[in-house]
């Protein structure tokens, strides 16, 4: 009985130690690859919802806004001779694309929840189809504008070619954005420490951290939708000069997008900080130029607000309050608000000592 009990005790201790070892190994792998803010998934969901809603609204609003200048039926299909050979009532031309879009969004959302393997193409699908549908709707409205009968609609072949090219470009952008968002560093078994970590001679490492500000993303999406609406209204002939509406909101959208996301990358060569969902533009510091690296808690009030700030503390990229990675190079400080900043600082200091 004693031997049997002792055997059970040894098995229990060994199983507990094995579980602890696996958990510790998993923890080291997660920390070695860097960190990502948990709010990133929610921000992405809000961005998709804003895009889906904006496209649906534009599909219905464009023909209804011009209904006083459109015939009762709209030409919606053109034959080989560039002459219209198909039409729909005004209400159907407005409703059917929106219904098709709603069904697509629902199908993509359902598929994304059931299998993580489809998420890679979900963004590309929604981007490309959204661009294609809204562009095609603008072309149809423009072709029928100020015509008394749909048979008199203008030729739209060239414009449809432009729309297809835009949809393909949007799909490529969606794929590129997904690859940037899901890129991760290969896990390296590093141990958290003080300002420096012991790195074996000749061993290479990669540390990544990515932070997204959801409010910047929502502002960028809102500005982009207004700019797109202005561009489509101009393409459809609803407004004479759409640029006063397009230019300021496009500028806001691009600016907010550029500073909505920041991605920091530390290797034995130094530090790279990329801005925006594509990680461009990028600032780089060679490890030989870095005088020191540290962690410092900063708030928007201390640095003068959100985004890219310049003040007495140096340069700060502020997307969320809290710990920042601060590097001093050529006598100037640069700080970026990223998670796991302590590990990044330790790796930079260790690499600086080795060179």
pLDDT, tens only, 61-80: 999 988 899 999 999 988 87
Model confidence over 85-114: pLDDT tens digits?
Answer: 889 999 999 999 999 999 999 888 887 776
Rounded to 10 deg, the angle between the 39-65 and 119-144 helix axes is 20
CA angle, corner 304, sides to 272 and 43, nearest 5? 60
Q: Are 264 and 325 in contact (CB under 8 A)?
A: yes
Look at 222 and 177; give whichever has higher pLDDT: 222
In this prediction, residue 319 carries a pLDDT of 92
Q: What is the pLDDT of residues 246-266, one digit of tens each?
A: 899 989 888 888 888 999 999
Tokens 């790195």 appear where? 199
Q: What confidence tens digit (pLDDT) does each residue in 312-328 have?
A: 889 999 999 999 999 99
Give burial (CB, 10 Å; 0-12/13-18/19+) of 290: buried
Give residue 14's pLDDT band: very low, low, confident or very high (50, 70, 90): very low
Instruction: Report the mean per-residue pLDDT for the chain.
Output: 79
Average pLDDT for residues 229-242, to the nearest whole number?
83
- Give percent above pLDDT 90 in the chain: 33
Map tokens 């070619």 to a residue: 161
Residue 289 has pLDDT above 80, yes or no: yes
């Amino acid at each position: 009985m004693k031997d049997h009990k002792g055997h059970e005790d040894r098995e229990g201790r060994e199983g507990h130690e094995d579980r602890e070892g696996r958990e510790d190994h998993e923890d080291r792998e997660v920390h070695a690859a860097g960190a990502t803010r948990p709010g990133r998934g929610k921000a992405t969901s809000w961005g998709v919802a804003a895009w889906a809603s904006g496209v649906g609204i534009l599909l219905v609003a464009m023909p209804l806004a011009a209904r006083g200048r459109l015939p009762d039926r709209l030409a919606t299909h053109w034959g080989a001779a560039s002459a219209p050979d198909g039409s729909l009532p005004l209400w159907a031309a407005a409703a059917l694309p929106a219904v098709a879009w709603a069904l697509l969004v629902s199908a993509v959302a359902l598929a994304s929840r059931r299998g993580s393997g489809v998420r890679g193409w979900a963004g590309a699908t929604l981007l490309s189809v959204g661009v294609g549908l809204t562009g095609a709707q603008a072309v149809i409205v423009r072709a029928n504008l100020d015509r008394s009968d749909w048979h008199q609609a203008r030729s739209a072949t060239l414009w449809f070619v432009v729309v297809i090219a835009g949809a393909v470009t949007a799909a490529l952008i969606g794929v590129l954005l997904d690859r940037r968002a899901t890129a991760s560093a290969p896990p390296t078994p590093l141990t958290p420490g003080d300002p420096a970590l012991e790195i074996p001679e000749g061993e290479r490492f990669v540390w990544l951290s990515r932070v997204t500000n959801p409010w910047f993303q929502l502002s960028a999406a809102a500005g982009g939708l207004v700019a797109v609406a202005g561009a489509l209204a101009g393409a459809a002939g609803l407004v004479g000069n759409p640029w006063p509406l397009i230019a300021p909101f496009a500028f806001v959208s691009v600016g907010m997008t550029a500073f909505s996301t920041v991605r920091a990358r530390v290797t034995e060569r130094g530090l790279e900080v990329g801005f925006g969902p594509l990680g461009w533009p990028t600032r780089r510091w060679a490890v030989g130029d870095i005088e020191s690296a540290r962690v410092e808690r900063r708030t928007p009030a201390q640095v003068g607000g959100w985004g890219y700030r310049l003040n007495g503390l140096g340069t700060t990229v502020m997307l969320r309050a809290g710990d920042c990675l601060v590097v001093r190079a050529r006598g100037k400080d640069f700080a970026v608000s990223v998670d796991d900043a302590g590990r990044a600082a330790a790796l930079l200091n260790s690499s600086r000592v080795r060179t």
